[in-house]
């Protein structure tokens, strides 16, 4: 009956008999903490939905129209949903090749001694506060890049597809600038997650590829990528989720123009977190409820993306472990 | 074995006790509503400027009032050293919400409580104390043109995108002496919602009538070509750095950025430049309702600057404690009395004497 000192305190026969007070107390504390997190999440969802209820009931399906005009009490948020998707997409398209490239570089190419300082520097990007990114973006980056936009636009003006994307008019604060700043902000996360996943590829597979005469690139595509693709996709989705929710940086550099749905990337626009941050101060009544509703929508989208990401990472990790 | 279990039990117990204390502290601080002030204060029934009051007053709301409140709070310390006043800013909407929820003692608001918010106040009477007025300038960046004149219809057409170049015939017609270039007009507007936008658009509704189609609100859908800046400072920066730009900026921020601003035609037909005197003149001619709400936008009077706006401090007529009532009378009395002397140095305009007297008379209504 007495527990064997060498076996852990949670061994089966001890558990079934009188449980020591410390164990029970700890289990309760851990359970309470876990439940607390769940409760808080549910409470946030419920209370914000309550605040948003009057917007949903007043506008109904018109919340998906492109007409946001507080002066005339119209609150159709389509342009903000579009802006959120567009800026997040631009951020991911710019950040993912860079991040996966850095991850591959650090794990496959660079000797271990040099990889640690590079990892350190990349992680420093994550330390920069969002508001500092926004201030740098609006005061330094946007004025500098608007000349580049102007020259690109004058160059591609007439060409069919490129002109629609990169043609005039142009502006420093714009969808594209917001996308670039967001790309800077999500690079550290995607890099570090990809690096961890790629580093778990079994050495034996890589050596096998080399033994068969593969070049380094063929080894990467043939041995590394099949193992790590799930994890990297998961990392990309997590980066996407973060890019969708970044508020202050986007609010400062996106240009603050409502009701803009266009293929032109160099024009000022708006996205959901930015409009909430900018317009909440003086909002009241249905206007405030509409902004809360945008928050609920954003909450739902980012939860979906994060759950998807975790699912993909888990499934690929399980597959890797099983294999 | 007993020793090992005792240690685990002690560790778990300490953790549970710490968690309980933390939760208890959080819940007790959230259950307290507006601070009711210190218990050691003595309040004189005459609204004591001589009595020594002590305690804390909390306010929030209009950012238009923010620099005035900050200066007044500092100066007020020498009048009542035992009192602490905090003003949190955050926008008029937030101020009114906080007052309705009871988390502040007074709220700064650039507009009277809108009808849809009245229900939040549960029928309690709210007193309006006007505290500060100020002009909104039309600041522009056009080299060689220093005395631009504008009238409401032209301003409306500029800001909804109908007039796109500086040498447009409509602008030339009222500025016969100036040489206007063919530069494109670049609009500078607010990206965040603001009382300044609400009052500027209100001026356009009143002064330009049907020529202005975008309505009035703290957020307006400006033309797509407009550049948006954050706060009055952001708009000032856009105007300052963009040749050909025109934007609406608070007088205080326009002076701080050394911007050039236009003279605007008022209801009497004169072109008046924004200044402290023309703002006070505008409010002198405003129609003041019995509850002390009024609008200085587009008022009659030859010297009135037509884009002048005002801000009030809102307090409940009946306070929960005599000490809070006394503190509010002291602080608000200061704001509308001696504190008005601080305004010109901050580039705001003091209340005209008729409004100031009515506000001072209303002070005695704050009771408990």
Note whether A129 and A228 are within 8 A (CB). no
Interface mutation target, options B12, B110, B186, B241, chain A, most CBs of A under 10 Å: B12
Lowest mean pLDDT, pick from A219-223, B8-12, B212-216, B334-338: B8-12
Alpha-carbon distance of B172 to A81, in angstroms, equals 43
Q: Is residue A195 part of a domain?
A: yes
| Chain B residue with minimum CA distance to A20 | B5
Give the per-residue pLDDT at B273: 94
> A132-154, pLDDT tens digit by residue?
999 999 889 998 998 999 999 98
Residues of B with CB below 8 A from A281's CB? Answer: 63, 90-91, 93-94, 192-194
**Is B16 an interface residue toward A (CB < 8 Å)?**
yes
Lowest mean pLDDT, pick from B7-11, B117-121, B267-271: B7-11
Give the per-residue pLDDT at B19: 66
Contact B198 A282 (CB under 8 A): yes
Percent of chain A with pLDDT over 70: 93
Contact A21 B92 (CB under 8 A): no
Give the per-residue pLDDT at B14: 67
Q: Which two tokens stand for residue B329?
A: 């009378």
Give the per-residue pLDDT at A314: 79
Alpha-carbon distance of A264 to A255, in angstroms, equals 14
Give the per-residue pLDDT at A28: 94
Q: Which two tokens stand for residue B367?
A: 């009771």
- Residue B29 pLDDT > 50, yes or no? no
Alpha-carbon distance of A254 to A269, in angstroms, equals 6
Domain count along chain A:
1
Low-confidence spans in chain A with pLDDT less than 70: 1-18, 317, 320-323
* B 82-141 residues inside an 8 A Cβ radius of A: 90-94, 96-97, 114, 116-117
Q: How many CB atoms lie within 10 A of CB A299?
A: 16
Q: Is residue A171 part of a domain?
A: yes
Q: Is residue A136 part of a domain?
A: yes
Please name every residue paired with B132 in a beta bridge, in sequence order, or none if there are none. Answer: B311
Interface mutation target, options A22, A275, A281, chain B, most CBs of B under 10 Å: A281
CA distances from B119 to B113, B115, B320 (A): 10, 8, 20
- Residue B58 pLDDT > 50, yes or no? yes
How would residue B23 be classed by pLDDT, with cut points 50, 70 and 90?
low
> A177-209, pLDDT tens digit by residue?
999 999 999 999 899 989 888 888 898 999 999
Give the per-residue pLDDT at B252: 92
What is the domain-level CATH number for residue A240? Answer: 1.10.3720.10
Chain A nearest-CA distance from B219, in A, is: 6
Note whether B185 and B163 are within 8 A (CB). yes
- pTM listed for this prediction: 0.79
Alpha helices in A105-159 (DSSP H): 112-127, 130-136, 142-156
Alpha-carbon distance of B325 to A275, in angstroms, equals 39
How would residue B367 be classed by pLDDT, with cut points 50, 70 and 90?
confident
Q: Is residue A12 part of a domain?
A: no
In the block, residue with structure tokens 């950025």: B257
> Containing domain of residue A222, as a range?
80-322
Contact B114 A285 (CB under 8 A): yes
**Is B321 an interface residue toward A (CB < 8 Å)?**
no
Which residues contact residue A272 at a Cβ distance below 8 angstroms, ignoring those fewer than 6 apart?
A: A77, A80, A81, A83, A84, A244, A294, A295, A297, A298
Alpha-carbon distance of B70 to B348, in angstroms, equals 13
**Is A79 an interface residue toward B (CB < 8 Å)?**
no
Alpha-carbon distance of A252 to B241, in angstroms, equals 17
Alpha-carbon distance of A251 to B54, in angstroms, equals 42
Give the per-residue pLDDT at A168: 83
Chain A nearest-CA distance from B89, in A, is: 10
Alpha-carbon distance of B106 to B94, in angstroms, equals 12
Lowest mean pLDDT, pick from A185-189, B119-123, B135-139, B278-282: B119-123
- Residue B32 pLDDT > 60, yes or no? no
Lowest mean pLDDT, pick from A313-322, B163-172, B202-211: A313-322
Interface mutation target, options B65, B88, B93, B199, chain A, most CBs of A under 10 Å: B93
Q: Is residue A68 part of a domain?
A: no
Closest CA relative to residue B72, chosen from B325, B343, B315: B343
Q: Is residue A33 part of a domain?
A: no
Alpha-carbon distance of B289 to B280, in angstroms, equals 18
| Chain A residue with minimum CA distance to B9 | A22
State which of B8-22, B48-62, B108-122 shows the largest mean pLDDT.
Answer: B108-122
Chain B nearest-CA distance from A246, in A, is: 17
- The answer, yes or no, to whether the previous bond of B80 is cis (omega within 30 of 0) is no
């Amino acid at each position: 009956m007495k527990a064997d000192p060498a076996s852990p305190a949670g061994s089966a026969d001890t558990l079934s008999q009188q449980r020591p007070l410390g164990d029970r107390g700890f289990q309760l504390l851990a359970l309470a903490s876990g439940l607390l997190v769940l409760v808080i999440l549910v409470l946030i969802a419920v209370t914000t939905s309550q605040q948003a209820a009057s917007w949903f009931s007043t506008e109904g399906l018109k919340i998906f129209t492109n007409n946001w005009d507080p002066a005339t009490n119209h609150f159709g948020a389509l342009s903000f949903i579009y802006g959120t998707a567009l800026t997040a997409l631009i951020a991911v398209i710019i950040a993912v090749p860079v991040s996966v490239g850095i991850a591959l570089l650090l794990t496959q190419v660079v000797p271990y001694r040099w990889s640690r300082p590079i990892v350190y520097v990349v992680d420093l990007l994550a330390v920069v506060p969002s508001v500092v990114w926004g201030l740098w973006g609006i005061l330094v980056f946007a004025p500098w890049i608007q000349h580049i936009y102007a020259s690109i636009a004058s160059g591609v003006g007439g060409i069919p597809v490129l002109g629609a994307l990169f043609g005039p008019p142009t502006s420093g604060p714009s969808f594209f600038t917001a996308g670039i700043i967001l790309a800077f902000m999500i690079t550290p996360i995607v890099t570090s997650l990809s690096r961890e996943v790629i580093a778990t590829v079994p050495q034996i597979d890589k050596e096998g590829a080399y033994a068969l005469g593969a070049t380094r690139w063929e080894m990467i595509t043939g041995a590394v990528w099949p193992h790590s693709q799930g994890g990297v996709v998961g990392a990309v989705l997590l980066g996407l989720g973060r890019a969708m929710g970044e508020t202050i940086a986007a609010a400062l550099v996106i240009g603050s123009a409502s009701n803009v749905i266009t293929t032109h990337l160099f024009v000022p626009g708006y996205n959901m977190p930015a409009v909430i941050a900018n317009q909440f101060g003086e909002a009241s009544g249905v206007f405030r409820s509409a902004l809360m509703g945008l928050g609920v929508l954003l909450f739902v989208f980012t939860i979906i993306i994060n759950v998807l990401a975790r699912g993909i990472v888990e499934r690929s990790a399980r597959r890797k472990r099983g294999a | 074995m007993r020793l090992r279990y005792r240690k685990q039990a002690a560790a778990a117990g300490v953790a549970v006790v710490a968690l309980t204390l933390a939760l208890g502290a959080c819940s007790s601080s959230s259950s307290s509503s507006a601070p009711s002030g210190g218990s050691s204060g003595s309040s004189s029934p005459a609204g004591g400027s001589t009595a020594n009051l002590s305690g804390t007053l909390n306010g929030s709301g209009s950012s238009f009032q923010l620099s005035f409140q900050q200066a007044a709070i500092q100066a007020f310390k020498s009048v009542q050293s035992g009192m602490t006043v905090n003003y949190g800013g955050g926008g008029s909407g937030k101020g009114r919400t906080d007052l309705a929820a009871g988390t502040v003692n007074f709220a700064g608001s650039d507009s009277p409580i809108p009808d849809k918010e009245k229900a939040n106040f549960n029928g309690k009477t709210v007193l309006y104390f006007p505290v500060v007025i100020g002009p909104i300038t039309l600041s522009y960046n056009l080299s060689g043109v220093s005395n631009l004149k504008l009238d409401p219809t032209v301003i409306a057409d500029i800001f909804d995108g109908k007039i796109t170049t500086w040498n447009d015939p409509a602008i030339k017609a009222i500025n016969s002496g100036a040489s206007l270039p063919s530069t494109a007009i670049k609009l500078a507007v607010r990206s965040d919602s603001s009382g300044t936008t609400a009052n500027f658009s209100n001026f356009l509704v009143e002064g330009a009538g049907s020529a202005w189609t975008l309505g009035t609100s703290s957020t307006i859908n400006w033309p797509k070509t407009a550049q948006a800046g954050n706060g009055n400072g952001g708009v000032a920066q856009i105007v300052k750095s963009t040749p050909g730009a025109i934007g609406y900026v608070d007088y205080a921020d326009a002076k701080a950025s050394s911007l050039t601003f236009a003279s605007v035609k008022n209801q009497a037909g004169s072109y008046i430049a924004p200044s402290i005197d023309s703002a006070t003149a505008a409010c002198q001619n405003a129609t003041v309702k019995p509850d002390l709400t009024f609008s200085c936008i587009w008022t009659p009077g030859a010297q009135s600057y037509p884009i002048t706006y005002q801000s009030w401090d809102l307090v409940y007529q009946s306070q929960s404690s005599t000490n809070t009532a006394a503190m509010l009378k002291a602080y608000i009395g200061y704001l509308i009395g001696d504190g008005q002397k601080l305004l010109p140095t901050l580039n705001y305009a003091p209340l005209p004497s008729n409004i100031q007297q009515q506000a001072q008379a209303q002070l005695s209504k704050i009771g408990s």
